[in-house]
Amino acid sequence: MRILESVNLPRRNGTTAHCKLSPMCGRYALHTSPEVIALAFGLAGVPAFAPRYNIAPASQVLIIRKNEAAMVRWGLIPRWAKDPSIGAKLNNARAETVAEKPSFRDPYRKRRCLIPASGFYEWKTEAGRKQPYYVLPSKGELFAFAGLWESWNGPDGALQTCAVITTEANETMSAIHDRMPVIVAPEDYPEWLAGSEGLLRPCPTGAIAIRRVGRTVNNARNDAPGLIEPDQG
């Protein structure tokens, strides 16, 4: 997912940091109820979380691992990293290189996850301005992004983080962007988590719908249900 606007991203201490968004940044929403999520992934329950409509990198996000759910920080910090700030550059991993990149190859082999999302945002330049679009499931109410997680031991203890894997856009998505998250089909959840190959591909064209939304979402401080509603402008 790529955004080329400037936003304010949350730090661990609750303050915000100004970030010029790059191709490694993204934004998504998760407002599906915990009960529906638990049912979708065959879990007894998931950690409590507030509905979010503008999740930005460095946020605490819900992930699904084998037989459990957890809240971790978005922006993967490799185990070998000396400086945790590297996580700001590792929000996404490209499907084409994830198995070879030093930051991702070990989690790819050993620490995979699914990242639930109600939808995600992408931007397209129109008339010289970045216009946001919201991408949502054409059926149902939940995506599962292919993800990786890692545990980094810092001065304050272990910090768990994650990254979203992206791939080339399918035909529907290519109308606004050339990349998209890898969306794992429900029947492939166990295979992905078990380490199967061959799943890092675009989802079927008919699996997603796209709507134009207002530019209020461009500011990561804004987080309200109205962000995902069709643009009336």
String of DSSP letters for 178-196: SEEE-B--GGGHHHHHHT-
Distance CA 100, CA 223 (A): 36
Distances (CA, A) of 71 to 50, 74, 162: 12, 9, 10
User: What count of residues does the chain have?
Assistant: 233
Q: What are phi and psi of 38, to 5 degrees?
A: -60, -45
Tokens of 93: 């991993």
Q: Is 68 a catalytic residue?
A: no
CA end-to-end distance (rounded Å), the chain: 24
> What's at 233, amino acid-wise?
G
**Residues 107, 109: Cα–Cα separation, whole Å:** 5
Q: What pLDDT sits at residue 233? A: 67
Which residues are paired to 212 by β-bridges?
133
**Residue 227 tokens, joined:** 């962000």
Catalytic residue among 5, 113, 122, 162, which? 122
Q: 3-class SS at 228?
A: helix
Q: What pairs with residue 125 in β-bridges? A: 130
Active site residue 191: no
- CA dihedral sign of residues 219, 114, 95, 171: negative
Those residues with Cβ within 8 angstroms of residue 172's Cβ, 6 or more apart along the chain or in another chain: 205, 206, 208, 209, 210
Statement: the pTM of the whole predicted model exceeds 0.85:
yes
Q: From the candidates 19, 25, 113, 203, give the one annotated as an active-site residue.
A: 25
Q: What is the pLDDT along the chain (233 residues), one digit of tens a residue?
A: 433 333 333 343 333 333 333 343 489 999 999 999 999 999 999 999 999 999 999 999 999 999 999 999 999 999 999 999 999 999 999 999 999 999 999 999 999 999 999 999 999 999 999 999 999 999 989 999 999 999 999 888 999 999 999 999 999 999 999 999 999 999 999 999 999 999 999 999 999 999 999 999 999 999 999 999 999 86
Q: Going from the N-terminus, what domains does the chain have, and what CATH number goes with each?
A: 6-218 (3.90.1680.10)
